[in-house]
Amino acid sequence: MDKVSPQQARRHANMAAIRSKDTKPEMIVRKGLWKRGFRYRLNHNRLPGHPDLVLRKYRTCIFVNGCFWHGHNVALPQIHNSQLIIHNSECCKIPKTNRDFWVAKIRRNKERDKEEQKKLAEMGWHCITVWECELKPSKREDTLDSIAFTLNHIWLQDHQAKVVPYPKQDEEDMQMPMAAE
Ligand SMILES: [Zn+2]
């Protein structure tokens, strides 16, 4: 069994804490959306999962996820008879040393992400997850355009639902007999 010393664990926790504050990928998303005319609030502490960006008008939370910490494209199998088969993805390679520790940690993060987004959905929020690897220079602008597209789509959908003119027919029906009298 691999073990991680308390110092190691603390160091990784520190690294995670540092990374979660004003990390570069998050800055890219912020600047890219700002440039495209979107306005947002940052690190909304009262919402589940403390979304990185909150766009009230679009009722949308955006999470900018590090591929390693959130296990992008990695399907983590259950440990069975201490056999562990892991399919690494291109952007999330689980270290060979202390494998159990990392698998457990990444699995926990993935589960937490799922729970938090479920809570947000129940509160009526849309969630968009942006992955670090989608923000590489070669993909960046496309990714930002597609977030903008998604936000506009969300707005249209929500807005359309609200402006369905359902009372009109009723009003007319009610007025009809009066008009006939
Ligand atoms: Zn990735």
DSSP string, 87-137: ---SS----STTHHHHHHHHHHHHHHHHHHHHHHHHTT-EEEEEEGGGGSH
Residue 161 has pLDDT above 70, yes or no: no
Query: What distance in angstroms lies between residue 24's CA and the mean position of ligand 1's atoms?
Result: 15
Report the separation in Å between the CA atom of 63 and the middle of ligand 1, taken as the mean of its atom positions.
13
Q: How would residue 177 be classed by pLDDT, with cut points 50, 70 and 90?
A: low
d(CA 163, CA 165): 6
pTM: 0.73
Report how far ligand 1's centroid is from the alpha carbon of 90 (Å).
Answer: 7
pLDDT in tens, 26-58: 999 999 999 999 999 987 778 999 999 999 999
pLDDT at 49: 92
Cα 170 to ligand 1 centre (Å): 52
Q: Are 42 and 108 in contact (CB under 8 A)?
A: no
How many angstroms separate the alpha carbon of residue 130 from the centre of ligand 1?
9
Q: With bands split at pLDDT 50, 70 and 90, how would you rate the model's confidence at 137?
A: very high
Is the pLDDT assigned to residue 180 strictly greater than 50?
Answer: no
* Distance (Å) from CA 92 to ligand 1 centroid: 7
Q: How far is the CA of 70 from the centre of ligand 1 (A)?
A: 9
Q: Are strands 60-65 and 53-55 parallel, antiparallel or unpaired?
A: antiparallel
- Give the chain's length: 181
Per-residue pLDDT of 63-115, as tens digits, reads: 999 999 999 998 876 666 666 667 788 899 988 888 889 988 999 999 999 99
pLDDT (mean) for 127-156:
96
Q: In the chain, what percentage of residues exceed pLDDT 70?
A: 71
